[in-house]
Structures are given as structure tokens and as C-alpha cells.
């Protein structure tokens, strides 16, 4: 790892020690930490570095879930690791990243680094010999195992018994013994049938085991994510609402916003006089098109891939197809600001950061209704000081009856909405933020986050939290 990388992540400074410079395990660790997947994930890098340094120093006895939670993730010494699964969830991700590294950039590494399930002590094991270094015949290779195929672990990093290799080993070993046995051909033929039947049975058992492991990786994963476990629950459905891009285009023409009441009734007469320079039929055409944005479609893909998003309880709706009662029960995720999802209006009376286009220049902005120390009263992208900035809001609120939760992901532009989505989908950035909104019982308060990003062409860079207000 270069010095620049160490300087960028102070928690990794211990890796610059020269104590282990000649240790091939340490050199492997540095190459892994320098890989792009780990450079982009400082939490996983810190986790890996900590467990490896403890192993180098002979402190493996400290590598318990409780100890790692305190030393790596900043938990209190007496935190409840049964309720707070941050160590286990990060360990699962770390095992997957390591597997990906040795499948891609680290294919030629002389040894592999693995963290077996059930513990957190890393193991450094020599890489299997290359396929062309293994003799193909059973005499030169009596084990009969094909090292070029690594089926010893499933997609979750768990060990899968290699029944096929066992069957081949059994068959080859018997064949070798029989070739030295002077018994008659009939005896050898009988034994050959028995070996073939036993091998076939073992192969069938092995295939069943591999299929079971494969199916298990596609079943819902039980976890206790601070945010998503509140939005995808076992007893209530979750409705994902996609934005109405036809309505956004209508707003761009009319320079006036349609209220939720007018949107549902189809009465836009208040806006028609302001668009006299535009063909009214064209305005009506825009208003009634069923378009959604690419950002909304991509967000939907991310949401449906979450382990909590069980298909039977996850519903997708176009904004115009929703009804008031849908916001009184269950959980709702709305993608887009009030201009694309007028239903946001139902919650804006209780929100601190409200989408607005009421200023004289008709530029969209977020109004901060209850500014705290150091916060502005308005955030837009058109002032001299904020030119080139992209703003968005992530709001986690109760539904209208208080029996479920609502998540609003909205930006002043599509780039802003995309920046908000990128943040909530990145646990390395999201979890530390949510930890600041924890209740005494470990759950999180309802909250609003105002985010700021650097505009990059049609997109936006990583968002940072400018203000965070908690409710309840």
C-alpha cells in the first residue's frame, strides 16, 4: 500500500510498520488492501487489517465478535452483539471481497487469505498447484482431485464437501490396488461394478449437496439492518413508488407545480393560463404520459436486490396509481421529490427540509424550516456560493397512521436523487451516519438528512451530510 493510501485512511497507519516487511503474509495483506475494492471500503480494510495484525502478533484470542465490535466499529464495551450484528454482516462482506480478489486481481497469488466461518482468525494457505502441474493419470496423481476446479466453498464462503472428488479418489485408489492384485478377471469385474455403483451414488449425493447450497444462497437472508429492516418487515407489505416523469416535464413547461389534489383529480386549470405560449394539447399530453426516469429504474433494481425485499411482500407502483390509504398501512419508499411524486406533500407538513419552487426565480430549492446552528435556511444550486452543488434529502418518517415507515429519496434534480440513493445503498457510509441516530434500545429515530454533492456533468459525486435532524 502506498503512503498516500495510508495517509488517506488514518486507521490503516499500523500497516506501515516495518516489523513484518519480510513476512509474505504481510506482503499479501498489503496487496489486498491496495486493491480497488478495498480502497473504496475503508471499514472492510480496517476490519481485515485488525484481524491480520492480531494474528501476526499472536493475539488471536482477542478476535471475538464482542472485541472486534469495540475495537474496529467503535461500539461500547457492553454492547449487545446479538442485537447489533455489525461484525457478522461486515465479516460476510469481507469474506466475499476476499473471494473476489483471489478470483480476479489475485489469481496468481502464491497464497490465499481466508477467514473461516464461525470465527474471525485469518488463515494463510498456499495456493493449489496450477492445472498443468498436476499429472492426469491416477498413478502419478493418486488423489484424483482436479485442483483447477475450486468447488470447496459456496457463494457465502461456506465449505461444501467435494463428493465428486471423494468418489474419484475412491475409484482411482481401488483401481490401483486391483492392478496389483493377481486375482481372476471375474473378481475384478465384480469389484469394478461395486466401485462404479458406489461412485455414482456418491456423485448423486454430491450433486444434491451442491444444489442445496446453491438454493440456500437464493433464499432470503435474515439480518437486522438499522434502516432496511424497518422498511421491509415480515408482517406488512412494502410499496415502492416510482416518480412521474411526465408530470416533471409538465412542470418544466408550466413553471407551476400541480398540487396533490389537482394531480389526483386531473384538474390543472390553474396552470394552463401560464403556458399560453405552449400548445395546451401538448401540455395535457405531457401530464398524462406514464414515464419514469432511468434513476428511478436503477433505484428499483437496487431495492429489489436487498435481502429484506421478499418478492411476495414488495410491491412496485407508479405514482399515479397510489391511493391515500396506501400511506396509512405498511411501509412505503418514494423515489423522487414532490415534483415527481406529489404524495410527498402528505409528509412535508412534518418535515424540516421541504422541496420548494416558490422563490422569485422559480429555481428549485430545499427550505430548512428549523435551521440549527451553522445551517442555512435555504439550499439551492444557483447561488454564487453553491453553484455546481447538488442537494438531496433522505427522510425516514412514520406512515400516516404511525403503524409503519416511509422513506423519501428526493433531489433538486435526478443527479441529486441518484446521490441520495447511492448513499443509502452504501453501508460503509450509511451505517456510521445511522449510528448517530440510535435510540437507547439500539433502533434508530426517524430522521431527515440534507445531503450535498459536487456536480459532475449529468451526475454527482459522493454525497456528504450537511444537516441531520432526528424526530420522535
Read out DSSP for 99-160?
A: HHHHHTTTTT-SEEEE--TT----EEEEPPPPGGGS-SSTTTSTT---TT---SB-TTS-B-
Arithmetic mean of pLDDT, 32-40: 91
| Vertex 295 angle, CA 294 and 296, to 5° | 90
pLDDT at 12: 43
When mean pLDDT is compared over 150-164, 248-262, 308-322, the highest value belongs to 308-322
Instruction: Residue 257: name the closest of 342, 323, 344 by CA.
Output: 342
Q: Is the pLDDT of residue 363 over 80?
A: no
Mean pLDDT of 39-44: 88
Question: Which cell numbers hold the place of 301?
Answer: 433494481
Residue 136: per-residue pLDDT: 41
Residue 447 per-residue DSSP state: E
Q: What is the pLDDT of residue 76?
A: 87
Range of lowest pLDDT (46-50, 333-337, 345-349, 354-358): 354-358
- Cα atoms in the Cβ-side hemisphere of radius 13 Å centred on 35: 22
- pLDDT, position 198: 64
Of 336, 305, 312, 310, which Cα lies nearest the Cα of 322? 336
Round to whole Å and give the CA distance between 89 and 129. Answer: 32
pLDDT for 398: 95
Those residues with Cβ within 8 angstroms of residue 202's Cβ, 6 or more apart along the chain or in another chain: 163, 164, 166, 167, 170
CB 392 within 8 A of CB 461: no
Whether the Cβ atoms of residue 442 and residue 80 lie closer than 8 Å to each other: yes
Collapsed DSSP state (helix, strand, coil) of residue 371: coil
Q: How many CB atoms lie within 10 A of CB 113?
A: 20
At 378, is the secondary structure helix, strand, or coil? strand
What pLDDT does 356 receive?
Answer: 86
| Helix ranges (DSSP H) in 234-293 | 245-254, 260-265, 280-287
Q: How many residues are there in the chain? A: 472
- Using CA atoms, how far apart are residues 171 and 249, in angstroms rounded to an integer? 70
Stronger pLDDT, 351 or 84, i.e. the higher one: 351
pLDDT at 44 over 80: yes
Q: Could you tell me the pLDDT band of residue 272, with boundaries at 50, 70 and 90? A: low
- Tell me, what's the pLDDT at 2? 38
3-state secondary structure of 169: helix
CA 472/CA 422 separation, integer angstroms: 26
C-alpha gyration radius of the chain: 29
DSSP letters, 403-418, are SSEEEEEEESSHHHHH
β-strand 365-368 against 378-379: which pairing, if any?
antiparallel
* Mean of pLDDT over the chain: 77
User: How does residue 286 score in pLDDT terms, banded at 50, 70 and 90?
Assistant: low
CA 137 to chain centre: 46
pLDDT above 50: residue 171: no
* Pick from 62-76, 120-134, 287-301, 455-469: least confident: 120-134
pLDDT score of 287: 64
More confident residue, 262 or 215: 262
Confidence of residue 22 (pLDDT cuts 50, 70, 90): confident
pLDDT bracket for residue 170 (50, 70, 90): very low
Q: Is the dihedral of CA 400, 406, 412, 414 positive or negative?
A: negative
Asked whether the beta carbons of 251 and 274 are under 8 A apart, the reply is: no
Q: Grid coordinates 513476512 are at which residue? A: 23
DSSP code for 45: H
Has residue 463 got a pLDDT over 50?
yes
Whether 196 shows a pLDDT value over 90: the answer reads no
* 297 pLDDT higher than 80: yes
Question: Mean per-residue pLDDT for 76-98?
Answer: 85
pLDDT at 140 over 90: no
Alpha carbons 396 and 226: distance in angstroms, whole number:
12
Percent above pLDDT 70 for the chain? 68
The confidence score (pLDDT) of residue 150 equals 42
- Give 337's Cβ-side CA count (13 Å radius): 26
E strand or H helix at 26, and its extent? helix 24-33
Amino acid at each position: 500500500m502506498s503512503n498516500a493510501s495510508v495517509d488517506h485512511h488514518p486507521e490503516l497507519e499500523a500497516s506501515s510498520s516495518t516489523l513484518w516487511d519480510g513476512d509474505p503474509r504481510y506482503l499479501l495483506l498489503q496487496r489486498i488492501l491496495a486493491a480497488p475494492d478495498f480502497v473504496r471500503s475503508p471499514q472492510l480494510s480496517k476490519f481485515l487489517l485488525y484481524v491480520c495484525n492480531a494474528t501476526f502478533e499472536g493475539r488471536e484470542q482477542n478476535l471475538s465478535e464482542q472485541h472486534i465490535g469495540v475495537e474496529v466499529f467503535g461500539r461500547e464495551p457492553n454492547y449487545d452483539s446479538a442485537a447489533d450484528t455489525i461484525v457478522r454482516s461486515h465479516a460476510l462482506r469481507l469474506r466475499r471481497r476476499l473471494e473476489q480478489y483471489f478470483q480476479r486481481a489475485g489469481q496468481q497469488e502464491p497464497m490465499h487469505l481466508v477467514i473461516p466461518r464461525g470465527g474471525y482468525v485469518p488463515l494463510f494457505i498456499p495456493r493449489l498447484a496450477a492445472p498443468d502441474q498436476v499429472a492426469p493419470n491416477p498413478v502419478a496423481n493418486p488423489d484424483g482431485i482436479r485442483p483447477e476446479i475450486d468447488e470447496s466453498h459456496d457463494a457465502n464462503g461456506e465449505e461444501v464437501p467435494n463428493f465428486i472428488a471423494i468418489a474419484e479418489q475412491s475409484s482411482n485408489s481401488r483401481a490401483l490396488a486391483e492392478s496389483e492384485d493377481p486375482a481372476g478377471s471375474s473378481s475384478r469385474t465384480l469389484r469394478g461394478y461395486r466401485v462404479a455403483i458406489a461412485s455414482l451414488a456418491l456423485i448423486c449425493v454430491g450433486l444434491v449437496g451442491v444444489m442445496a447450497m446453491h438454493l440456500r444462497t437464493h433464499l432470503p437472508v435474515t439480518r437486522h439492518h438499522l434502516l432496511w429492516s424497518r422498511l421491509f418487515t415480515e408482517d406488512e407489505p412494502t410499496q415502492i413508488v416510482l416518480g412521474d416523469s411526465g408530470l416533471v416535464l409538465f412542470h418544466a413547461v408550466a413553471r407551476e407545480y400541480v398540487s396533490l389534489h389537482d394531480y389526483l383529480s386531473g384538474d390543472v386549470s390553474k396552470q394552463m393560463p401560464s403556458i399560453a405560449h405552449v400548445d395546451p394539447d401538448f401540455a395535457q399530453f405531457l401530464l398524462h404520459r406514464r414515464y419514469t426516469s432511468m434513476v428511478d429504474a436503477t433505484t428499483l433494481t437496487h431495492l429489489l436486490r436487498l435481502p429484506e425485499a421478499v418478492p411476495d411482500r414488495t410491491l412496485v407502483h407508479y405514482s399515479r396509481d397510489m391511493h391515500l390509504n396506501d400511506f396509512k398501512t405498511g411501509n412505503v419508499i418514494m423515489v423522487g421529490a414532490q415534483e415527481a411524486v406529489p404524495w410527498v406533500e402528505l409528509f412535508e407538513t412534518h418535515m424540516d427540509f421541504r422541496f420548494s419552487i416558490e422563490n422569485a426565480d422559480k429555481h428549485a430549492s430545499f427550505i430548512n424550516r428549523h435551521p440549527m446552528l451553522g445551517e442555512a435556511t435555504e439550499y439551492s444550486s444557483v447561488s454564487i456560493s453553491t453553484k455546481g452543488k447538488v442537494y438531496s434529502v433522505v427522510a425516514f418518517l412514520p406512515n400516516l397512521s404511525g403503524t409503519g415507515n416511509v422513506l423519501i429519496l428526493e433531489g433538486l434534480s435526478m443527479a441529486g436523487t441518484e446521490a441520495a440513493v447511492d448513499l443509502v445503498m452504501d453501508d460503509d457510509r450509511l451505517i456510521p451516519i445511522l449510528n448517530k441516530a440510535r435510540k437507547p434500545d439500539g433502533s434508530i429515530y426517524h430522521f431527515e438528512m440534507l445531503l450535498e454533492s459536487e456536480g459532475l456533468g449529468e451526475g454527482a459525486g459522493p454525497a456528504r451530510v450537511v444537516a441531520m435532524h432526528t424526530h420522535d
